[in-house]
Chains A and B, each alone.
Chain A
Amino acid sequence: MAESKISVGIDVGTECIKVAVINDQGVLLGSSIVARRGYFQDRVSEAFPVALEDAQVGAEDLLGICATGFAENCVPMATTFLGDSACHALGAFHHHKQAMCVIDIGGRDPKAIQVDAGGRPTGIQTLRRCAAGIGTFLIFAARHLDVHPSHLQEMAGRTDESCEVGSYCSMFSGQDILEKLREGVSRESVALGCINSIADRVIEIGRFTDPVFVTGGVAEYFPGVLTAIAKKTGNRVEAIPQPILAGAVGAALWVFQEKSLPLSQQGENS
């Protein structure tokens, strides 16, 4: 059988499952994103064929499947695994071939990942706190504000006046939201306050060195968080293209890298 040139990465996060199908040129052939409800494995079984169909390939065409993320062990079809920090590093490096600081802001557990000029992660910093709901917090804040999570950013964008929402703990911050609503503060202000609260939290990880590239679902759905981070830190902060897929793309890239197969866009130190 001819050497397959297609791989799949499956990033099983806490909020959603992301699947990316790429070829050996590093081109994204197809993808799928499925919200996580109930058992991880069931959602993985849903998302996988959808991505294959999107890419117009069959499972038999694949060189390998790499699983990553919180529930990577719920991917029975995986042929290999890689930690999600390393996957996000690969996914970001795929778009920007340079040494960088990657910030992964997903459902929970934001991380800063230093990546060297060769695309290898050299250090990871996380928050010194409990599991830190980030995207999860925003989804749950949206519920308090009676708005669909995908509209929260828009709501926040309608005002310049932010209100104070704490960033110590999701439960405490949730309390803050309720108190503000009780006082009659506008939902727009509260929404902006939540966006800023996430930014504050991420900044607690430590100092970031430019260039800073952001991956993860929050960059995709709540871009205001990135603007807030940039404003507060003075860093140049940019989301990579399709940031929510970074982990899955990185995982798919690993399938090739692990077998030391060259990717025509890879391996150039700049």
Chain B
Amino acid sequence: MKIVIVGAGALGGLVGAQLATGGEDVTFIEINEARTRLLNQTGLFVAEGNKGETCVPVKVVTSVEGLPVADLVFISVKTYQTEPALRACLPVIGPDTFVLSMQNGIGNTEIMAGIVDPHQVLSGITYHSIQHVGPNRIRYRPGIKPIQIAPYDGKITPEILAVGEVFRNSGLNTEVAEQIDDVIWQKLLHNAVVNPVSALTGLTCRELLDDPHLQSFMRDLCLEIIAVMKARGVPIVEEDDPYAPVVNSQKALGKNRPSMWQDLARSYRTEVDAINGAVVREAEKLGLDAPHNRGLVNFIHSRENVSFLRKQEVAATLRAAAQSADENGAQEAPPQRRSAQALRPIRPAPGGGMPHSRVPLETAPRLKKLITGYYRDLQKASDDPARQVAWCSGTGPVEILRAMGLAVYFPENHAALIGASRQSGLYIPRALQEGFSQFANSAMASDIGAMLKGDSPLVSVHHIEGPPPPDVLTYNTNYGSELIRWFEYYGRHFDKPVLGLHPSTSLHEVGDLEIGAATLQMLKMVENLEKQFDRKLDYDKLADVVRQSNKCTRLWGEILALCRQVPSPLTFFDTLIHLAPSIIMRGTPEAVEYYTLLKAEVQDRVANGVAAVPGERFRFYWEGPPIWPALRPLADLFLNHRVAVVGSTYCSIAAMPGIDPKNPIESMAAVYSGIFHNRSDAWKEDTLVNAFNDYGVDGVIYHEGRTTPSQSNVRYGLEVRLGRRTGLKALVLEGDTHDLRLFSMNQVMQKLRDFIEIQELAAGAGQSKANG
């Protein structure tokens, strides 16, 4: 049979793939050109449940031009696209062509019967559960009931039976019935009750079940629809408790959210008019009222409009960013000047460097441009006698520094680059000659050692001469007191003032006393800065910077929260890379712009079910700092075992909520005193338990950094206590952030592999993979 499938989405993809595998002549029509190219190139990957994937070669075109008349046209686009899609197919619809719709909701076949001869229209219903897990991948579970096809005009002909036969021969369990109105309504009941509620609240079906208020509303909504169905004469499933089957579908969907949520999240129109809208229309016809359904239709349309506007805003931002990037690119040539301070490059050692994502983000190249721009500006500030540079700790008071017009540089970011290059071994020994112990903070030792040897990764990565010398150094001990020695060393080296903030530590609550003390410290710091630079802090400017900082940290928190999605759109190895602007560019509008774009792309991934780890099987949380020189082998190990590290303490630091432009200093004092590392063990434990739940993790990795006691929370029995509280499997890794000599990387990899293998075996994996 010549079959044309309109819309290569989840449903069309599955049906088309099965028919093609069954030997039928199948052509897909898809308007998305990128998806068309991809599918033609790679084929469509189809997996049933957890069984392996099969790759089905498919033929996809963007228009029907040149195609012969089809025997069957299968419409699988969104209901609001039915009419244009069908009209576009008229050239391939002959008098004997059947047009079949298995779309959601009600109204599709009516639309179709208004365009072609009603005798050619077939309606269909499927109970398959199909998910898009990538632009060319679908996973499905076959329905408990067979696919049903019925003629629009109620007359079964031998030709229609033949269509059923073709489906069956292709492995699609199919029956032909005289009418399927009843089953369509019965299916619609579930969609109409669950979809809009999940879409509006953002809750998964499991979460909906846990909410008694929503369950009460959904029961009422259900009964309203049942009344309409009864009036129409549709047999009711489980008449005594018609909501019970809907509860079961929520249980079955579990952690998932229905397609209507995905549509809203993606800023697409939903199919609410064909679902709840159909109920409202039917009720009217029957002289009944359906206020709940009508209300929901209005709510959903309202949210569709908001999302649409935001999408336009994002598109405008993208255009503006592209324009300004072009302008910058045209003007910026790498600085040619060689001064006595020019340093040598640090290039990654074998095995070093940042890990490559297996599912690369489109936004990623922008990050490189953004950060290079930031460092180039630092170089300019360094060369410009009218500008000054401040060195600041990652969770230090950058907002104040920016508001004072200082360019800000972060030694910790520099140290992370050295660590990732896997070259710390060249620099730490040099630092030890200065009198540091082998077990002093290795990030500090790497950074100081590199400075003393005259090398910097900024030369090779961002093409500037090196770190800009400071006019002042500021830090906050909220991240640990190791920073003090780091900054004071440089203060002595450059003979420049070092201003520190030392908030009260191990706080369970951040109370007035602590905020008061921290505020006074900040004001004192402001006073010192004003004296040094002979100008006053402009509090309006500070409010602006704080406003940007607030947006930046909020966006970053939202991006991290998107990783609660199963499968996760990002992993720890992605967030480690994209964390940088929230540290080094916090308080700038550029960071906000960047995270707006990144968030949109990640949301899109979420809506399309794109996984950062294809085939995600386990989800872990990483507590403790990263092992910078081993990111690549670690990322590969997790990818190969289909483990997604979905949450981390390290990357969550920068999601500090609460900085308030209306009350800059005090809110900064509160927020900076309240970061994770400055809290009590009990607070940390509670926060981690919540994080484990929120991210739905299967296991926890605790990294104990040899030289980072203040970041290695596991040192004092945390893993045992959290294990008792949560029952989650955990692994403690002894490592370090920078110094490979202090631990055995082989042992780390072996332990991780063992840990993952236990879970694979428990989950019933028949096969194991070799090391590496």
* Cβ–Cβ contact A73 & B770, under 8 A: yes
Interface hub of B729, B747, B767 (most chain A Cβ within 10 A):
B747
B751 at interface, CB cutoff 8 A: yes
A86 touches B758 (CB 8 A): yes
Query: A128 and B734 in contact (CB under 8 A), knowing A73-B771, A121-B761?
Result: yes
The answer to the question of B339 belonging to the interface, with a C-beta cut-off of 8 Å to chain A, is: no
Interface size class of A (residues with CB under 8 A): 20 to 34
Please, which residues of chain B bring their CB within 8 A of the CB of A83? Answer: 750, 753-754, 757, 768
| B248 in the interface (beta carbon within 8 A) | no
- The answer to the question of A195 belonging to the interface, with a C-beta cut-off of 8 Å to chain B, is no
Given contacts A72-B771, A81-B769, A86-B758, contact A123 B734 (CB under 8 A): no
A122 to B699, CA, bound (A): 13
Question: Closest chain A residue to B732 by CB distance?
Answer: A128
Please, which residue of chain B has its CB at the minimum distance from the CB of A132?
B747
Set of chain B residues within 8 Å of A84, measured between Cβ atoms: 754
Whether B233 is near chain A, meaning CB under 8 Å from some CB there, is no
Chain A nearest CB: distance from B723 CB in Å? 10
A82 B757 Cβ-Cβ under 8 A: yes
Could you tell me if B744 and A130 are in contact, using CB atoms closer than 8 angstroms? yes
Residue of B at shortest CB range from A108?
B747
Residues of B within 8 A of A264 (CB): none
Partner of B768, one of A81, A121, A124: A81
The docked-state distance in angstroms from the alpha carbon of A93 to that of B767 is: 20
Q: Give Cα A129–Cα B732 distance, bound, in whole angstroms.
A: 11
Residues on the A chain within 8 Å of B767, using CB: 80, 258
> Are B766's CB and A260's CB within 8 A?
yes
Are A128 and B704 in contact, CB atoms less than 8 angstroms apart? yes
Q: Kindly supply a per-residue 1/0 record for chain A positions 59-72, scoring 1 wherever the CB is within 8 Å of any chain B CB and 0 otherwise.
A: 00000000100101
- CB proximity of A269 to chain B, nearest CB, Å: 15
Contacts of B757 in A (CB 8 A): 82-83, 85-86
- Is B772 engaged at the interface, CB distance under 8 Å to the other chain? yes
Contact indicator B747/A109 (Cβ below 8 Å): yes
Q: Which of A128-183 contact B (CB under 8 A)?
A: 128-131
CA distance A195 to B381 in the complex (A): 65
* Interface residues in A73-128 (C-beta closer than 8 Å to B): 73, 78, 80-86, 109, 120-124, 126, 128
Please indicate which of the listed interface residues A70, A120, A126 has the most CB atoms of chain B within 10 Å of its own CB. A126
CB distance from B524 to the nearest CB of A (A): 42
Complex CA gap A128/B732 in Å reads 8
B487-508 vs A, CB cutoff 8 Å, 1 = contact: the mask equals 0000000000000000000000
Contact B734 A129 (CB under 8 A): yes
Q: Nearest CB to that of B704 among chain A residues? A: A128
- A126 to chain B: which residues have CB within 8 Å? 751
> Are the C-beta atoms of B758 and A81 separated by less than 8 Å?
no
Binary A-proximity of B729-761 (CB < 8 A = 1, otherwise 0): 100101000000001101100110111011001
Write the chain A residue with the least CB distance to B768. A82
Would you call B751 and A81 a contact (CB within 8 A)?
A: no
* A85 contacts across to B, CB distance below 8 A: 754, 757-758
Chain B residues in 8 Å Cβ range of A128: 704, 732, 734
Residues of A within 8 A of B704 (CB): 128
In this assembly, does B513 line the interface, its C-beta being within 8 Å of a C-beta of chain A?
Answer: no
Contact with A along B410-447 (1 / 0, CB 8 A): 00000000000000000000000000000000000000
Instruction: With CB as the reference atom, state the residue of chain B lying closest to A90.
Output: B761
Secondary structure of the B side of the interface? mixed
For residue A123, which residues in chain B have a CB less than 8 angstroms away from its CB?
A: 729, 758
| Pairwise interchain contact A122-B770, C-beta atoms closer than 8 A | no
A259 to B767, CA, bound (A): 9
Contacts known (A81-B769, A82-B768, A85-B754); A120 close to B762, Cβ less than 8 A: yes
- Please indicate the chain B residues that have their CB under 8 angstroms from the CB of A86 in the complex: 754, 757-758, 761, 768
A258 to B757, CA, bound (A): 13
Q: Which residues from A are CB-within-8-Å of B768? A: 80-83, 86, 258
Residue of A nearest to B769 (CB): A81
Contacts of B769 in A (CB 8 A): 81
**B744 partner residues in chain A, CB cutoff 8 A:** 130-131
Asked if residues A81 and B755 are in contact (CB atoms below 8 Å), the reply is no
Closest to B714 in A: A128
Selected contact of B747 from candidates A73, A120, A131, CB within 8 Å: A131
Closest to B743 in A: A130
Q: Which residue of A lies closest to B730 (CB)?
A: A123
State in angstroms the CA–CA spacing of A2 and B746 once bound together.
41
Q: Is the CB of A124 within 8 A of B747?
A: no
Is B770 in contact with A124, judged by CB distance below 8 angstroms? no
What separation, in Å, do the CA atoms of A210 and B757 have in the docked complex?
24
Given the interface contacts A80-B767, A83-B768, A131-B744, does A121 sit within 8 Å of B758 by beta carbon? Answer: yes
Q: Mark A36-50, 1 if CB is under 8 A from B, else 0.
A: 000000000000000
- Chain A residues closer than 8 Å to B766, beta-carbon distance: 258-260
Rounded to whole angstroms, the CA-CA distance of A73 and B750 in the bound complex is 13
Let me know if A120 and B754 touch, CB within 8 A.
Answer: no
Residue of B nearest to A130 (CB): B744
How far is it, in angstroms, between the C-alpha of A77 and the C-alpha of B770 when the chains are bound? 13
Q: How far is the CA of A116 from the CA of B51 in the complex (A)?
A: 27
Binary interface encoding of chain B residues 121-147 relative to chain A, with 1 for a CB under 8 A from any of its CBs, else 0: 000000000000000000000000000
* Across-interface contacts of B747 in A (CB, < 8 A): 109, 131
CA distance A126 to B743 in the complex (A): 14
**Inside 8 A of A131's CB, which chain B residues have their CB?**
744, 746-747
Q: Which residues of A contact B771 (CB under 8 A)?
A: 72-73, 81
Residue of B704, B753, B757 with most chain A CB atoms under a 10 A cut-off:
B757
Q: A83-B753, A126-B751 are in contact. Are A120 and B729 (CB under 8 A)?
A: no
Q: Bound state CA distance, A209 and B511, in angstroms?
A: 45
Contact residues in A for B750 (Cβ distance below 8 Å): 70, 83, 109
A124/B755 in contact, CB under 8 A: yes
Return A89 CB to nearest CB of chain B, in Å: 9
Q: Report the bound CA distance from A73 to B768 in whole Å.
A: 13
A129 to B744, CA, bound (A): 9
Q: Mark B664-704, 1 if CB is under 8 A from A, else 0.
A: 00000000000000000000000000000000000000001
* Inter-chain contacts of B746 with A (CB < 8 A): 131
CA A67 to CA B729, docked complex, whole Å: 26
In the complex, what distance in Å separates the CA atom of A70 from the CA atom of B772?
Answer: 12
Inter-chain CA distance A80–B743, complex, in Å, is: 29
The residue of chain B having its C-beta at the shortest distance from the C-beta of A120 within the complex is B761
Report how far A260 CA is from B764 CA in the complex, Å: 11
The residues of A that contact B761 with a CB separation of less than 8 Å are 86, 120-121
Task: Name the one of A81, A121, A129, A259 contacting B770, with C-beta atoms under 8 angstroms.
Answer: A81
Once bound together, how far apart are the Cα atoms of A80 and B770, in whole Å? 8
Convert A193-224 into 0s and 1s, putting 1 for each residue whose CB lies closer than 8 angstroms to a CB of B. Answer: 00000000000000000000000000000000
Closest to A119 in B: B761
Q: Quick one: closest A residue to B756, CB to CB? A: A83
Distance (Å) between the CB of A239 and the closest chain B CB? Answer: 22
Instruction: Chain A residues near B743: list those with CB within 8 A.
Output: 130
By beta carbon, the residue of chain A nearest B770 is A81
Asked whether A124 and B758 contact (CB < 8 A) given A73-B770, A82-B768, A131-B747, the answer is yes
How far apart are B757's CB and chain A's nearest CB, in angstroms? 5
Residue of A nearest to B720 (CB): A206
Across the interface, which residues of A come within 8 angstroms of B758, CB to CB?
85-86, 121-124
**Least Cβ–Cβ distance between A75 and chain B, in angstroms:** 9
Q: Does the CB pair B732–A72 fall under 8 Å?
A: no
A2 nearest CB across to chain B (Å): 22
Distance to closest chain B CB from A130 (angstroms): 6
Residues from chain A with Cβ under 8 Å of B762 in the complex: 120, 122
Q: Beyond the given A109-B747, A121-B761, A122-B758, could you list 4 further A-B residue pairs with CB under 8 A, ordered by the A residue number?
A: A70-B750, A82-B768, A120-B761, A124-B751
Nearest 4 pairs between A and B by C-beta?
A81-B770, A83-B757, A83-B754, A85-B754
Point out residues on B near A: beta carbons under 8 Å: 704, 729, 732, 734, 743-744, 746-747, 750-751, 753-755, 757-758, 761-762, 766-772
Residues of A within 8 A of B (CB): 67, 70, 72-73, 78, 80-86, 109, 120-124, 126, 128-131, 258-260
A-B pairs with beta carbons under 8 Å apart, 11 shown: A67-B770, A80-B767, A82-B757, A85-B754, A122-B762, A123-B729, A124-B755, A129-B734, A258-B766, A258-B767, A259-B766
